[in-house]
A and B are shown apart, each in its own frame.
Chain A
């Protein structure tokens, strides 16, 4: 059940009311010595029910990963000595099995088949006609991160299974992240939660803005992008370029919108999750882009792939190799297709070039900064083409076709285009203000202006949003 579904908005107020009506903890006194946390129990129940709403059987996978990493971490902590590496390897591999089977079986099967058939051998394994469990990449990585943290002794193994189960299944983040670290979320699960007005208001604001990004910007732009991508050979080069730019904005609106809603819902339940986005399209380099885009995944890859490989504390060549491998993993994480792998490679190679040229951490101002923002956006947009197209051949053909001919891009639908322009202008204004003029436009902080903003945004969602549009792009990862 995703945040943009109507059913969720019928169910969520009930969850909210019951959750806050329950006592934070009971027992612990002379009558009942063991302390029980009804709110945590209720959150686990709600999370599993919401997850089961999609495919009930897949809750078993969620439970299996929870059990495996919970007991794995305790076992790792209890063991000392050289065998520890073998134990973490075994538990990490077992944790990854469902992800590998559901997500990569087809890809490996097809790739092996293509390879063998090019050698004249025709052997194919039976296909699995199973849907990928929603959010499996996210909760697997979150649980795996905890396991590594215990292995590296950054965290102590969690003793309470209930607290740990909630850490893995917490419903605001289970479908598409953000991927939390045990050190951030587990203490919040353990501490006494009281409703804070400011936190609740902040949560609602994030929810509202997330809905706007998703329903008004992303889903509307998606209508244009889907139409052009499905039949790109029939459209002019400039139309394909515009569609690629729109896709960059669509995927941002879609994923950042979801993340904001997740953070917002979590705030309403008294939790603070990591902010996954920080105006990524104002990045001055690809390195900068990954500090602002899907921050929780970037951090995960840095902590558990890049640094264990040696990070930057090694030779230049080895460092380049580490960057390359990290982004290769990022590409593979996104999906079982060569298009995602090439997407990851483009980002990896671009970062290596930036590092070699010393552009990765260089501060820039004025026109040069603007030029770098535009160039970074162009590279990111090019990479998104590979991310969006179904095959590598299509992606290459799309890029080639984009450079054919000049002219004005086709609008396709004037009314829809009016919504794109309006939505992009609103997002651009808000993000430009936050990025470049955080202390300007103080009148916008006036209480009545703020309320007017909220009402206008809510009305725009109802009037212009692509309601009932369905899933999130990252929901399938």
Chain B
């Protein structure tokens, strides 16, 4: 038994050395070498300088043309920090890092019910925060949500699980010239256009209180620092289901922030402006951004 336990201890000692070394390499890749989304992520959390910040899911990253917004609103730059497959649980964690080094004048938060309202296991939304777990606030935010993460985060390899491949592949990408905005070049498929639209509005029930709590805290904290927060529900294609966003409307009214809903926008009618039922393509994004800037001016 003694030999067995000693060998296990040696094994974990070797793993700990490898873990520490790889952690250093991955951090170096992430912070200095990577471009593309890895750079966007790191830049938003640590180096953001712009006056306007876009937050939300992939719909945010594909819909908001950062340069157009900055030009149209006459502010000192706009950066799009939307993240595929994520919502407020991730973005609130990022906000904790952003607020330490830079306070934008305006934050536009794109609401996506699937990531901001629907009750599900939020553990996947904290995944992209794990590489930033050396930040005390991020670490406590993660461990408050999931107690067992405290132990897991001791491993650097765990923090960079899967993401290290993205960092590596982002090292050979060209630099971002769109300030985080990702133009979607696709067009909606013919099969999707033929699909019948359900006239019923989807009521989200039950609602995830963790997400609502994060959203409220984010609005309050940003508001207390003098930042104008604007909630937006950007357009879906008309064939996509309609969500009942009364919860968001009510919350926006309670918190005193504007909520701009594109549920009845004419943009929804034109399939040429969509890449799929949820995402605008490049042309659609320009039309939407123009319309949005026009509406936002009323609140600034």
**Chain A residues within 8 Å of B, Cβ to Cβ:** 6-7, 10, 20, 195, 197, 200-201, 204, 233-234, 414-416, 418-419, 451, 454-455, 458-459, 462-468
Contact = CB atoms under 8 A, between A and B. Distances in A.
A462 B11 contact: no
23 contacts: A6-B148, A6-B152, A195-B1, A195-B4, A197-B1, A201-B4, A201-B7, A234-B189, A234-B192, A414-B169, A415-B165, A416-B162, A419-B162, A419-B165, A455-B18, A458-B11, A462-B161, A463-B161, A464-B165, A465-B161, A466-B162, A467-B158, A468-B123
A455 B13 CA distance: 10
B18 A418 contact: no
B158 A415 contact: no
B15 A463 contact: no
B191 A234 contact: yes
Contacts of B189: 234
Contacts of B160: 463
B15 A7 contact: no
A20 to B, nearest CB: 7
B6 to A, nearest CB: 11
B201 interface: no
B272 to A, nearest CB: 20
B3 A197 contact: yes
Interface of B: 1, 3-4, 7-8, 11, 14-15, 18-19, 22, 123, 148, 151-152, 155, 157-158, 160-162, 164-166, 169, 189, 191-192
B191 A462 contact: no
B1 A458 contact: no
A463 B4 contact: no
Contact of B162 (A204, A414, A459, A464): A464
Contact of A455 (B15, B152, B169): B15
A400 B102 CA distance: 56
A459 B157 contact: yes
Contacts of A451: 11, 14
A316 to B, nearest CB: 50
Contacts of A465: 161
Contact of A459 (B4, B7, B22, B148): B22
Interface of A is mostly: helix
B17 to A, nearest CB: 10
Contact of B164 (A195, A454, A463, A467): A463
Contact of A233 (B157, B169, B191): B191
B165 A455 contact: no
A200 B4 contact: yes
A264 to B, nearest CB: 14
B5 to A, nearest CB: 9
Contacts of B4: 195, 197, 200-201
Lowest 10 CB-CB distances: which A-B pairs, in order?
A462-B157, A415-B165, A200-B4, A195-B1, A463-B157, A6-B148, A415-B166, A455-B14, A197-B4, A462-B158
A440 to B, nearest CB: 27
B16 to A, nearest CB: 11
Contact of A458 (B15, B148, B162, B192): B15
B53 to A, nearest CB: 26
A416 to B, nearest CB: 8
A467 B18 CA distance: 19
Nearest to A200: B4
Contacts of A459: 15, 18-19, 22, 157
Contacts of B1: 20, 195, 197
Contacts of A466: 162
Contacts of A454: 11
A392 B235 CA distance: 37
Contacts of A416: 162
Contacts of B157: 459, 462-463
A415 B161 CA distance: 12
Given A6-B151, A414-B169, A458-B15, 12 more contacts: A197-B4, A234-B189, A234-B191, A415-B169, A416-B162, A419-B162, A455-B14, A459-B157, A462-B157, A463-B157, A465-B161, A466-B162
A398 to B, nearest CB: 16
Contact of A463 (B3, B7, B148, B162): B162
Contacts of B162: 415-416, 419, 463-464, 466
B182 to A, nearest CB: 15
Contact of A464 (B22, B151, B161): B161
Contacts of A204: 8
Nearest to B10: A451
A109 B159 CA distance: 47
B148 A7 contact: yes
Nearest to A452: B14
B19 A462 contact: yes
Contacts of B148: 6-7, 10
Contacts of A415: 162, 165-166, 169
Nearest to A13: B8
A465 B163 CA distance: 11
B2 to A, nearest CB: 10
B11 A455 contact: yes
Nearest to A415: B165
Contacts of B8: 204
User: Among A7, A10, A201, A463, which residue has the most Cβ atoms of chain B within 10 A?
Assistant: A463
A56 B189 CA distance: 49
Nearest to B123: A468
Contacts of A467: 158, 161
Nearest to B146: A468
A20 B161 CA distance: 34
A468 B189 CA distance: 34
Nearest to A470: B121
Contacts of A464: 161-162, 165
Contacts of A462: 19, 155, 157-158, 161
A414 B161 CA distance: 16
A384 B53 CA distance: 47
A415 B37 CA distance: 13
A105 to B, nearest CB: 27
A415 B164 CA distance: 9
Contacts of B152: 6
A329 B157 CA distance: 45
Interface centre among B151, B164, B165 (most CB of A within 10 A): B165
A20 B96 CA distance: 47
B165 A418 contact: yes
Please indicate which of the listed interface residues B19, B162, B169, B189 has the most CB atoms of chain A within 10 Å of its own CB.
Answer: B162
Contacts of B158: 462, 467
A375 to B, nearest CB: 34
Contacts of A6: 148, 151-152
Nearest to A464: B162
Nearest to B166: A415
Nearest to B168: A415
Contacts of B155: 462
A353 B158 CA distance: 49
